[in-house]
Amino acid sequence: MDNPQFRSGFVTILGKPNTGKSTLMNRLIGEKLSITSPKPQTTRYNIKGILNRDDCQIVFIDTPGYLKPRYKLQEKMQDLWSESYKDVDLILFMSDIISFPTDYDLEVLELLKNIPIPQIAVFNKIDLQKDYSREFFINQLPESCSKAFFISATRGDGVPELMEAMLQFIPYHPPYYSEEQLSDLPMRFFAQEFIREAIFNYFSQEIPYSTAVLVEKFKELDDKIHIDAVIWLERESQKPIIIGKNGAGLAKIRDYAEQQLTNFMGVPVMVHLWVKVKPKWRKKPSDLKELGFK
């Protein structure tokens, strides 16, 4: 590209779980790449979403929420968190105006003080809290956060202003990816994520956190895609909950995933699901490696 005014760079979105990081990235790029649910810790991987405009290309990195690890999976998630802000041009610290400042918010802000990368604070969920003092939130921020924005990632309030502010931190540079790319991740990854999203949305308590999804077969035909996937559970007692009476639970997961993936991939998608018990998979390095964690 010969345009000397073109900007291209990387922005990572950091914060505690359930602040709307995935919803914001989806809103910014105009496509649903990161799965979302009302439950915390839905995001387990660093997910790159690529915004392509005539004047810029911005690669957003959606991260797992910052937390204190209790088992090996969460340790791996925190490793990804620490990797996400290396070699980026801007950090978005994200929280919500309902719960800020929690202990996790304060821990993240303490870490950001010592990171020599430009930072913007983003306070989400203004649609859920009508009366709030912007001055209160701004006064809690360290000097490393140069600006603060108040938004609703769900409705889009304040997002255009945030976008224009971010652009000032993106250097003049040719694009890093082709303008057709939305992410650097393979379609198999998004297949497993949409199946996981169904589980997070349809099941409660510990079930979503005890499950993982592994795509074993991804076959592209001329007019459709066939996906074979296995849902991992930690305990035998969880199988009848996921499968449901006469397979109704699995059918809900399959139908949800097929609809989301068909919309995402632009061709009909058929999903076939199996259930497998993998005791303590969240604590076993070999199982986590199979799921793509280093």
For residue range 229-245, list pLDDT tens digits in order: 999 999 999 999 999 99
Q: What is the pLDDT of residue 1?
A: 55
- Strand residue runs (E) in 241-288: 269-277
Q: How confident is the model at residue 86 (pLDDT cuts 50, 70, 90)?
A: confident
**Nearest Cα to 120, choosing from 90, 151, 150?**
90
- pLDDT beyond 60 at 85: yes
- pLDDT beyond 90 at 68: no
Encoding tokens for residue 211?
């499950």
- Rounded to an integer, the average pLDDT of 131-137 is 93
- Rounded to an integer, the average pLDDT of 202-220 is 94
Global confidence as pTM:
0.92
Q: What is the pLDDT of residue 6?
A: 95
Q: What is the pLDDT of residue 163?
A: 96
Q: Is 121 helix (H, G, I), strand (E, B) or coil?
A: strand
Rounded distance between C-alpha atoms, residue 103 and residue 96, angstroms: 13
Give the phi and the psi of residue 58 in degrees, each rounded to 5.
Answer: -120, 125
List the domains of the chain with CATH numbers.
7-167 (3.40.50.300), 187-290 (3.30.300.20)
* DSSP symbols for 64-115: PPP----SHHHHHHHHHHHHTTTT-SEEEEEEETTTPSPHHHHHHHHHHTT-
CA distances from 242 to 37, 196, 207, 267, 282 (A): 18, 12, 8, 27, 18
- pLDDT beyond 80 at 281: yes
Count Cα atoms within 13 angstroms, Cβ side, for 118.
16
* Residue 9 and residue 169 in contact, taking contact as beta carbons nearer than 8 Å: yes
Instruction: Convert the pLDDT of each residue in 195-204 to its tens digit.
Output: 999 999 999 8
| Average per-residue pLDDT for the chain | 93
Rounded distance between C-alpha atoms, residue 254 and residue 194, angstroms: 10
Rounded distance between C-alpha atoms, residue 14 and residue 70, angstroms: 20
Name the more confident of 78 and 235. Answer: 235
* Residue 284 and residue 71 in contact, taking contact as beta carbons nearer than 8 Å: no
**Nearest Cα to 147, choosing from 120, 128, 127, 168?**
120
